[in-house]
Structure 1
Amino acid sequence: MTTLLTEQIYYDNNQLQIEACSISSIAEQIPTPFYCYSKARLLTNITHCKEAFENYGIDIHYAMKANSNLHILRLMNQQGLGVDMVSAGEMRRAEAAGIPANRMIFSGVGKSETELRQAIETGICQFNVESAEELALLASLMNEYTRPVNIALRVNPNVAVDTHKHITTGTKGNKFGIEATQTLSLFRQYADHPLLNMNGLAMHIGSQICDTAPYHQAISRLLELVNILEAEGMKVSSLDLGGGFGIDYGDGQKLSFEAVAKTIAEATTDFNGKVVIEPGRSLIADAGVLVSRVNYVKQAEPRSFLILDAAMNDLMRPALYQAIHPLVAANTTDYDSNAQSSELKSSELKSSELNSSELKRSELMNVDVVGPVCESTDTFARDYPVSSRTKAGDLMVFLCTGAYCSVMSSGYNSRDIIPEVMISNDEIQIIRQRITQDDLMKFEV
């Protein structure tokens, strides 16, 4: 059994709360669907991460692709974190959030010449280079500049991880990184370049990893390369070990900051240089929820459909890689007057203990949870248990949607791009306004 509710997202008198605000009261002010974040939960996660890694002198760079809202980036900056970026757009956002260039790392397998130039001119602290072709382009561009840049070659360590095939990044056949033998060759080739400081190795083996063993194996392979290079007189002064630390989506599987920090520290005991990690999901995911309203409970065979006003354009992860986000009711008063919330179970989630008392099985119905978009893939969950009293107009809440959710939003089916809201105690702040079709059509004149 695993609890997904926290001190910041919890039930009180049958009402789901984010800090001091009930979801129902927020929805009275902001039309559904919308994303909603707990500032306190985000800060708690950052604090736990810093306590785990900074004790070992490990630098933390937030992986912006998880959630690049400016308000969230400013909080990361205020907490002293650097950022890991994968586009010029993310670099622009980092600058707008006040993050200094010396705390920016630029990753990504397909950086354009324009993006490379912008990063050089910004003065970022490190390029994570992913191919011989990218390194050659950087070298040619440096003929126009006088200030050197720091280079870490991203190694593909060919380490298998137990995660979805669409979020593995460190095995043979993935587009990311450079094979070990080629890494050595490139390091040697550019070691004496006057403006390319070849001083680092990087890796990222995947996302939603819940076991430390793959990290230990991959780090060992990086250190083998370090030993070879240093034996030849070349100095490796930086190891970027990526992120991908798994969180609990309801099955009890996760990887704690403390566990992975200890693994990294033990594996790099003999490494004399800077060690960097790039967490994203593990900092922000459980600080966010997606609030939606039931449009219809459509009677059908073999199961009824719970049709929400949120759709795949708002929450892409289920369609993209069959992710499951636990779904709970914002108000359980009509379901069970004695329960503060309900325990939901499904074949996908094994068991998710979301409260202290569960609805009786006779009070549950299994439904397919879907949205209104005209695609069969607009499905959030199949054969999912909800209260048999669920009806049109009820508020439903997807948990753990702070990462890789709002950033994937689109206007597909000419739907609005939904707002984002930050909650701080009893304060409600819209941190991204709804982007309407009128807004979008202005660009089509």
Structure 2
Amino acid sequence: MHNENSLYYRDGQLFMDGVSLNAIAERVETPFYCYSSAAITAQIADCQSAFQKLGASIHYAVKANSNLSVLRLMADAGLGADIVSVGELQRALAAGIQPSRIIFSGVGKRRSELLAALQAGIFQFNVESLPELQQLADLCRQQGCTAGVSVRVNPEVDAATHRHITTAIKGSKFGVPLEQLETALDLIVQSEALALHGLAIHLGSQIVDVAPYRKACRRLRNLLNDLRQKGYVITHLDLGGGFGIDYGEGRYLDFHRVADTFHQELQELNVKIAIEPGRSLVGSAGVLVSEVVYRKEVEPLPLLILDAGMNDLMRPALYQAEHRVMPLVESGRPVETCGVVGPICETTDRFLQRTDLPAIQAGERVALLQVGAYGAVMASAYNSRDMIPEVMVSQNRYRLIRRRIPQSDLMAYEMDG
């Protein structure tokens, strides 16, 4: 689960697979995202191998990275999709993911989005509130169709991750509270327009320990047995994703450990299992290539000011995340302690408060690691900056998979006067 498997130095140059990142930077203006298709496909294969014993269906969480070229890798591998908007539905379908393998999650599905998903014939809606469930039933009756439904429950399990990516604690906006679950199930069972599949959960993101999953599985097992005794027919469990990757601290969650935990806790329930990995399939496969605009000599530490900013990579500002940095050229200079910041007019535009690097000068380039997930998809044009390109490396070659979107294009959408 390390993108260093794809990154290495050859003759002093940093390569991704068989391509020099500096060579790409000579042709694609920095900053830009660059992904290894080999790293993504290797992660997909590892995930499929781990969950094969469960017969689990794998639905890629599109929100992690929704580039069409990334989605096509998922489609080619036979994965389904977990979507949270009609835009992600459109992307998944355009990439060749079959509607019968699409699950629609999310707390605020608009009526138009529910309708589009119904018309596409997706496999399942993970409903997260009683009002959403009622609206879906009404739409199905109007359209003369049936929707497969699982109820996302809130198991009240703290995944012990960052507070901004914890989703299953009491009071969360996500999921149906346990005290409302039977009301939701009754609405489904009593509706001729809805077909009950089962229950869904999602504990959060960047979880690096199996303990929260084990706890959630045991609560689900007890809950499912209780519901079956009351006559509810539960045939599916959607266990979500959130499997953490290594951001440089050596802590991550191996697919096989998660699969073994699910198997130990749920194997006797006779249900179909679905999982929704996102970050764990693409996060370690991407880098953000950036150039040092200035080297600023200040106390207590010198600062490297990059041409990439928080608008390009939001995770450090939003989650206080840290992404390790590698120079694109080995200089042999002594290692120094410095800070790494961006050009945006915000104090939070800081990638690393303190890190050790060979002394890097203005005009040299670096790569920020593990940015394949929640990087490009969260980017904005804040400070009226361009939306930066994305590149895919495959079989010793690279190609542009999203062109730069300059301000002239962005301004064309605005009405002046």
- Kindly state the Cα deviation for residue 5 of structure 1 after the two structures are TM-superposed: 5.0
Which residue in 1 is equivalent to 2:306? 308
Candidates 332, 355, 377, aligned match of 1:335: 332
Q: Residue 394 of structure 2 aligns to which amino acid in structure 1? A: S
Q: Which SS does the other structure have where 1:127 is aligned?
A: strand
Q: Residue 427 of structure 1 aligns to which amino acid in structure 2? A: R
Q: How does the TM-score come out when normalised to structure 1?
A: 0.91
The superposition leaves residues 88-134 of structure 1 with CA deviations (integer Å, 9 ceiling, x where unpaired) of 00001111111111010000001111111111111110000001111
Distance 1:158 1:232 in 2: 22
Candidates 69, 74, 77, aligned match of 2:75: 77
Which residue in 1 is equivalent to 2:352? 381
Q: Which SS does the other structure have where 2:220 is aligned?
A: helix
Q: How does the TM-score come out when normalised to structure 2?
A: 0.97
The superposition leaves residues 175-209 of structure 1 with CA deviations (integer Å, 9 ceiling, x where unpaired) of 10111121122212431211111221000000000
Distance 1:91 1:399 in 2: 29
CA RMSD of aligned residues (A): 1.2
Which residue in 2 is equivalent to 1:219? 217
Which residue in 1 is equivalent to 2:166? 168
The superposition leaves residues 327-352 of structure 1 with CA deviations (integer Å, 9 ceiling, x where unpaired) of 110111x225xxxxxxxxxxxxxxxx
- Structure 1 residues 4 and 261, CA gap change in structure 2 (3 angstroms): closer
Q: Which SS does the other structure have where 1:236 is aligned?
A: coil
Which residue in 2 is equivalent to 1:410? 380
Moved more, 141-150 or 420-429: 141-150
The superposition leaves residues 132-154 of structure 1 with CA deviations (integer Å, 9 ceiling, x where unpaired) of 11111112222212221111000
Matches within 5 A, 1:46-125: 46-125=44-123
Which residue in 2 is equivalent to 1:144? 142
Q: Identity over the aligned pairs, expressed in percent?
A: 49
Are positions 1:370 and 2:367 aligned together? no
- Kindly state the Cα deviation for residue 55 of structure 1 after the two structures are TM-superposed: 2.8
- Kindly state the Cα deviation for residue 4 of structure 1 after the two structures are TM-superposed: 4.6
Which residue in 2 is equivalent to 1:190? 188
Which residue in 2 is equivalent to 1:132? 130
The superposition leaves residues 199-252 of structure 1 with CA deviations (integer Å, 9 ceiling, x where unpaired) of 210000000001111011112212222112211222101100000001100111
Distance 1:63 1:212 in 2: 20
Which residue in 2 is equivalent to 1:242? 240
Q: Residue 390 of structure 2 aligns to which amino acid in structure 1? A: E
Candidates 406, 409, 412, aligned match of 1:442: 412
- Structure 1 residues 5 and 109, CA gap change in structure 2 (3 angstroms): closer
Paired residues of 1:315 and 1:408 also in contact (CA < 8 A): yes
Q: Residue 398 of structure 2 aligns to which amino acid in structure 1? A: I
Which residue in 1 is equivalent to 2:22? 24
Paired residues of 2:315 and 2:321 also in contact (CA < 8 A): yes
- Kindly state the Cα deviation for residue 12 of structure 1 after the two structures are TM-superposed: 1.8
Distance 1:330 1:189 in 2: 58
Q: Which SS does the other structure have where 1:318 is aligned?
A: helix
- Kindly state the Cα deviation for residue 22 of structure 1 after the two structures are TM-superposed: 0.9
Paired residues of 2:3 and 2:285 also in contact (CA < 8 A): no
- Structure 1 residues 145 and 19, CA gap change in structure 2 (3 angstroms): same
Paired residues of 1:289 and 1:400 also in contact (CA < 8 A): yes
Moved more, 77-86 or 365-374: 365-374
Q: Residue 231 of structure 1 aligns to which amino acid in structure 2? A: Q
Distance 1:189 1:378 in 2: 48
Distance 2:196 2:56 in 1: 20
The superposition leaves residues 399-425 of structure 1 with CA deviations (integer Å, 9 ceiling, x where unpaired) of 111000000111000100000000112
Which residue in 2 is equivalent to 1:347? none
Q: Which SS does the other structure have where 1:6 is aligned?
A: helix
- Structure 1 residues 4 and 190, CA gap change in structure 2 (3 angstroms): closer
Distance 2:47 2:223 in 1: 28
Q: Which SS does the other structure have where 1:65 is aligned?
A: helix
Give the gaps of 5 or more residues in structure 2. none
Distance 1:68 1:189 in 2: 33
Paired residues of 1:180 and 1:225 also in contact (CA < 8 A): no
The superposition leaves residues 27-74 of structure 1 with CA deviations (integer Å, 9 ceiling, x where unpaired) of 111110000011111111111111111232111000000000001101
Give the gaps of 5 or more residues in structure 1. 337-362
Q: Which SS does the other structure have where 2:97 is aligned?
A: coil
- Kindly state the Cα deviation for residue 291 of structure 1 after the two structures are TM-superposed: 0.2
- Kindly state the Cα deviation for residue 6 of structure 1 after the two structures are TM-superposed: 3.1
